[in-house]
Amino acid sequence: MWQSFVNIFLNILLYIYKLVGNFGVAIVLFTVLIKLITYPLMRKQIQSSTKMMELQKSPEYLEMMEKYKGNQEKLAEEQMKLYKKFGVNPTASCLPTLIQLPIIFALYQAIIAAIVSTPLGMLDLTKRAFSGFLQIGEIFPINPNFLWMNLGQPERLYIQGISFGIPVLAILVVITTIMQTKLTVPPTNPNDKNAASGAMMTGMMNIYMPLLMGFMAYTLASGLSLYFLISNVFTIVQYGVEGKLNWKALKFGKPQLPKLATPAEKPVTTSRSVPNANPKKSMTPNLAESGVDPAEEKIDYREFKNKKKPKKK
C-alpha cells in the first residue's frame, strides 16, 4: 500500500523529469503541483484560522471564558458549542500539516529510488515504473545534478579558500521556515488561556520547526531540501494571495499584541437569545458598543496563573 503510494510519486516525478530533462526542475515543478493540489486544504486552513481568531476576539467568547474559567470541562464543552455555532473546526488547521508528512516521506523515498547507483537499484526502478506510462529505458540514467548539487546527496557548496562545504540549502530552509512560521501564524488573544497555550506552542514551533527542517536539510538528500525550500516559499505566497501574511510578526523581539476587547461587564444576552443570522458580523468586536475605551483597554493578566502581574504605571 505504502509502496504503491511512493511509486505514484516516483512515476509522476520521473514523468516530469522526462518532460523537462532536469531532475532539480522536476522536483520544483512536482512541489508546485503538490502545493496546488493541496491548495483548497490550505485555503480552508487559512479561513479556519481567521474565523477562530475572530471568534476568540468576540465578546461572547470572552464572556464565556470569564464565566467558566474555574471549570475546565465546562469551558471545553461551551467552547465546542461555540465553535459549532460559528462553524469553526478547531482541528481544520492541522490537516494540511498532517498531509505534508506522508508527502515528505514518499517524496524522499521517490528521490532516493530515482537516483540509482547500482544494477540492483536500477532493476528496482524498472519494477516501480508503470510500464504503460513511462519507458524507463528512455529516461535512464537520471542526471542527479542540479546547479552545484547532487540531489541524491546532502548539499554543500564548496568555495575556493574555504576548507568546508557551506550548507546553503539548509540555511535557506531554516530562513524560509522561520519566515513561514512567523508570517503565517495570526496574532493570538492573550486573554484566552487556550490561545495563550497555543501561542506558547507556536513559540516553540518557531524554534523547533526551523531546527528540525534545517537538520533534515543538512543531513538528508538535497532533493528533499529543495522540496522544503520551494514548499516554504509557496506557502508564504499562498498566504500572501489570501492576504493573511502577518508582516508585523517578522519584527524580532517582544511581539506587539493587538488590542482586544474585554468581556462586557454585563452579559450580552441578545447574542445568546437571538442568534445572529450572520455570525461573522457578530464575531467582529465592536469596542464602542461594548462601552470599552480602546485606549484604556488592558490585558487581563489574571488569566495567567503563576505569572507576574503587570507593573502599575
Partner 1 sequence: MKRKKQFLLLLLMILTTMILSGCAGNSALSNAVSWPGLAADDETVYVAYTSSVQAVSNGKLLWRYPAEAQNGMMFFAAPTIYDGKIYAGTYQNEVHVLNQNDGTLITKISLETNKNKILASPVIADDMLFIASNNGSVYAYALDDLGVPVWQTDLSTEIWVSPFVSDGKVYVTTLDKRFLVLDEKTGSIEKTLSINGAVMGRLVLSNDRIYFGTLGKEVAYFNPTTQEIETVMQTNGEIWASPLIIGDKIIVADMAGYLYCNELETGKSVWQIKAVSTDKVGFIADPILLPNGNLLAVAEDGNLLVYDTDGKSVNSRLINGKTMSSPVVIGESFVTGLIPGDALLRSYTSDLKEDWWYAEPVQTTVVAPTSEVSQETVTETPAK
Residues that bind partner 1 (CB under 8 A): 104-105, 108-109, 112-113, 116-124, 126-127, 135-138, 140-141, 200-201, 204-205, 208, 211-212, 215-216, 219-221, 224
Cross-strand bridge partners of residue 149:
146
CB-CB contact of 176 with 247 (8 Å): no
> Which CB atom, from 129 or from 245, has the smaller least distance to partner 1?
129
Q: How far is the CB of 117 from partner 1 (least distance, A)?
A: 5
> Which CB atom, from 168 or from 220, has the smaller least distance to partner 1?
220
Q: How far is the CB of 38 from partner 1 (least distance, A)?
A: 19
In degrees and rounded to multiples of 5, residue 146 shows phi and psi of -145, 120
- Distance between CA atoms of residues 54 and 64, nearest Å: 15
- Distance between CA atoms of residues 125 and 103, nearest Å: 19
Q: How far is the CB of 51 from partner 1 (least distance, A)?
A: 25
Q: How far is the CB of 300 from partner 1 (least distance, A)?
A: 21
> Which CB atom, from 278 or from 306, has the smaller least distance to partner 1?
306
> Which CB atom, from 229 or from 245, has the smaller least distance to partner 1?
229
> Which CB atom, from 40 or from 121, has the smaller least distance to partner 1?
121
- Distance between CA atoms of residues 37 and 31, nearest Å: 10
Q: How far is the CB of 120 from partner 1 (least distance, A)?
A: 6
CB-CB contact of 57 with 261 (8 Å): yes
* Grid cell digits, residue 63: 464572556
- Distance between CA atoms of residues 96 and 101, nearest Å: 9
93-107 burial string, b = 16+ CB within 10 Å, else e?
bebbeeeeeebbebb
- Distance between CA atoms of residues 152 and 220, nearest Å: 8
> Which CB atom, from 9 or from 86, has the smaller least distance to partner 1?
9
Q: How far is the CB of 211 from partner 1 (least distance, A)?
A: 7
> Which CB atom, from 141 or from 275, has the smaller least distance to partner 1?
141
- Distance between CA atoms of residues 37 and 34, nearest Å: 5
Q: How far is the CB of 264 from partner 1 (least distance, A)?
A: 31
What is the DSSP-derived secondary structure letter of residue 151? T
> Which CB atom, from 2 or from 286, has the smaller least distance to partner 1?
2
Which of 236, 282, 260 lies closest to 60 in space, CA to CA?
A: 282
Q: How far is the CB of 280 from partner 1 (least distance, A)?
A: 33
CB-CB contact of 177 with 210 (8 Å): yes
- Distance between CA atoms of residues 268 and 169, nearest Å: 54
| Cα torsion 281, 284, 286, 289: sign | positive
